[in-house]
């Protein structure tokens, strides 16, 4: 089976993706509207059932992003907006998802004793009353209502059952049981779901959902325990993105259910061959690098170093491989093309790698490929993917790098001269010294733009292999109390560093927000 797992509707797990909402709450991982639309398209192509597109009342920008996702993708997936149990939140969420044919409002209200006492300052009776009122109000605006008792895993079971029963009685079609702070263990979370199934009289009228955080590294394990206990929706994010230690990783949930269908006996609609592509896109958009040994989508996920493992793999891949790389769209370092490769061969390879490019984008990518092929002896699949996925998503950026020159070396003060063009096509030049070539070029860019920042993180990794490999640079900087990221690739690490720093400063220059103000569930 090469894509979605085949099951009957009763045995199918609803995949609720919250990359655009809970995932974006990871510090420095904010996305602008165009980037959210790009990720939403990838989620639709992946086959995600529900896309939680944002928290509409958080800001005008978030409202607009949710609305545009609803307009563009509301026929193909259920588009969901988050809301606190407040009238204004509900109305704002309803307006944002309004354009979608398939839409949902997701309400949340804290229920644990610690939240009742210190956050809400509400008694249990008030919680039940607010639940009834707000679910009823949301039901007037939208047929599909999800309700989350925030911090459910630390809520007294008897009271949690009362809240869930109340939410369903007043119209909730999905009841989500959040492990908001990642406190649960698999057996604990299994018991919570099991208790609700046994003690909530109307539980069969709603889908039970699992929403797990990864503070103890148990988000995926807890989610699978919930499925085992009877949950039929799992809330997750691409790459496990999310605040603090993150959320349950969509790719791990999906492949665990598929690989161990003999045990769980359920499946999903996810086209698993697009998992790696979605992972790379989210990594590029957010600047959050996927660790090499990350399950399913990490660079080492299908690498076998041990001689014993290699021998077994040569005899039968199943000796050490429980899933095939092609089943998740994993691309290795295959040598495919050179500078004499033609346009047709290049287009065919791009298609084989899972990308559909319009003519304009294809021409840009092909031109960059020819330039790269002149610089490199060998061009690999990973190089082609890097070219495609590092296409400029910020074409409207005010500042663009035209050229730079760096003088550095032993006994020399590192000096950089930079030329930038602004959005009015005017040329700006300046120079700066630094404690190294990267520092010098970054300071020269800052002098021209009039924006400065503190470099918080600087990482370089090889995209493919060989001395002439492209290097990918990821930069995080802090300015004005906010964190911004930039990412770029080049065979010249200094050029990649300059481009990445410029991308981050362009975001800072327009004041793109970096974190949402309200964490949600």
Which DSSP string corresponds to 420-481? Answer: EE-TT--EEEEEEE-SSHHHHHHHHHHHHHT---EEEEEEEEESSSSTT--EEEEEEEEETT
Question: Beta partners for 455?
Answer: 477
Question: Beta partners for 145?
Answer: 105
* Nearest in space to 170 (alpha carbons), one of 125, 202, 209: 202
* CA 205 and chain centroid, separation: 31
For residue 214, give Cα distances in angstroms to 31, 153, 240, 273, 289.
22, 13, 8, 25, 17
Q: Is 170 annotated as a binding residue?
A: no
> For 457, phi and psi rounded to 5 degrees?
-155, 135
Q: How many helices (H) and strands (E) does the chain have?
A: 17, 16
Are the C-beta atoms of residues 467 and 473 closer than 8 Å to each other?
no
Q: Is 213 annotated as a binding residue?
A: yes
Would you state the structure tokens that stand for residue 248, as one six-digit string?
């349950």
Distance CA 35, CA 50 (A): 18
Q: Is the dihedral of CA 266, 270, 273, 275 positive or negative?
A: negative
Are the C-beta atoms of residues 166 and 206 closer than 8 Å to each other?
no
Please name the helix (run of DSSP H) or strand (run of DSSP E) that holds residue 256, with its range, or none. helix 250-259
Q: Is 309 annotated as a binding residue?
A: no
Question: Beta partners for 349?
Answer: none
The angle subtended at Cα 394 by Cα 277 and Cα 93, nearest 5°, is: 75
What three-state secondary structure class fits 367?
Answer: helix
Please name the helix (run of DSSP H) or strand (run of DSSP E) that holds residue 495, with its range, or none. helix 493-509
Distance CA 347, CA 324 (A): 25
Distance CA 284, CA 281 (A): 5
Pairing of the two strands 379-380 and 233-236: unpaired
**For 269-381, where are the E strands, in sequence order?**
335-337, 379-380
* Binding-site annotation, residues for Mn(2+): 22, 211, 213, 247
Q: Which residues are part of a known binding site?
A: 22, 211, 213, 247
């Amino acid at each position: 089976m090469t894509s979605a797992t085949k099951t009957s509707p009763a045995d199918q797990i609803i995949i609720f993706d919250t990359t655009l909402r809970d995932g974006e709450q990871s510090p420095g991982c904010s996305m602008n509207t165009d980037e959210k639309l790009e990720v939403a398209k990838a989620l639709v192509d992946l086959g995600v059932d529900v896309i939680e597109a944002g928290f509409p009342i958080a800001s005008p920008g978030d409202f607009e992003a949710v609305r545009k996702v609803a307009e563009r993708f509301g026929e193909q997936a259920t588009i969901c907006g988050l809301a606190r149990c407040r009238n204004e939140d509900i109305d704002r969420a309803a307006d944002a998802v309004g354009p979608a044919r398939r839409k949902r409002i997701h309400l949340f209200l804290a229920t644990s004793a610690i939240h009742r006492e210190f956050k809400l300052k509400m008694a249990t009776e008030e919680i039940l009353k607010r639940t009834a009122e707000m679910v009823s109000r949301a039901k007037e605006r939208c047929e599909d209502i999800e309700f989350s008792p925030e911090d459910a895993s630390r809520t007294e079971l008897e009271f949690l059952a009362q809240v869930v029963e109340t939410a369903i009685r007043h119209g909730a079609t999905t009841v989500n049981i959040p492990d908001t702070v990642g406190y649960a263990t698999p057996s604990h979370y299994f018991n919570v779901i099991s208790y609700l199934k046994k003690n909530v009289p109307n539980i069969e009228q709603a889908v039970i959902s699992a929403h797990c955080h990864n503070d103890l590294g148990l988000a995926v394990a807890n989610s699978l325990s919930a499925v085992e206990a009877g949950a039929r929706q799992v809330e997750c994010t691409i790459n496990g993105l999310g605040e603090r230690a993150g959320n349950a990783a969509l790719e791990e949930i999906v492949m665990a259910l598929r690989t161990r269908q003999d045990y769980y006996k359920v499946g999903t609609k996810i086209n698993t061959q697009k998992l790696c592509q979605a992972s790379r896109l989210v990594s590029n958009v957010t600047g959050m690098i996927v660790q090499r040994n990350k399950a399913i989508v990490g660079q080492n996920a299908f690498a076998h170093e041990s001689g014993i493992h290699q021998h077994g793999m040569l005899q039968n891949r199943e000796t050490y491989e429980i899933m095939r790389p092609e089943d998740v769209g994993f691309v290795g370092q295959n040598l495919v093309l050179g500078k004499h490769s033609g346009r047709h061969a290049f287009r065919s390879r791009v298609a084989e790698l899972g990308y559909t490019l319009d003519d304009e984008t294809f021409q840009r990518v092909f031109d960059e490929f020819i330039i790269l092929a002149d610089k490199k002896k060998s061009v690999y699949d990973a190089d082609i993917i890097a070219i495609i996925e590092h296409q400029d998503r910020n074409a409207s950026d005010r500042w663009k790098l035209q050229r730079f020159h760096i003088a550095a070396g032993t006994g020399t003060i590192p000096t950089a001269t930079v030329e930038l063009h602004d959005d009015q096509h005017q040329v700006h030049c300046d120079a700066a010294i630094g404690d190294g070539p990267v520092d010098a070029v970054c300071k020269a860019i800052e002098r021209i733009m009039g924006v400065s920042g503190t470099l918080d993180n600087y990482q370089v990794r090889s995209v493919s292999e060989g001395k002439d490999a492209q290097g990918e640079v990821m930069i995080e900087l802090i300015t004005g109390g906010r964190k911004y990221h930039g990412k770029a690739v080049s065979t010249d690490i200094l050029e990649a560093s300059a481009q990445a720093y410029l991308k981050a400063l362009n975001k800072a220059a327009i004041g793109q927000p970096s974190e949402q103000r309200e964490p949600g569930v």
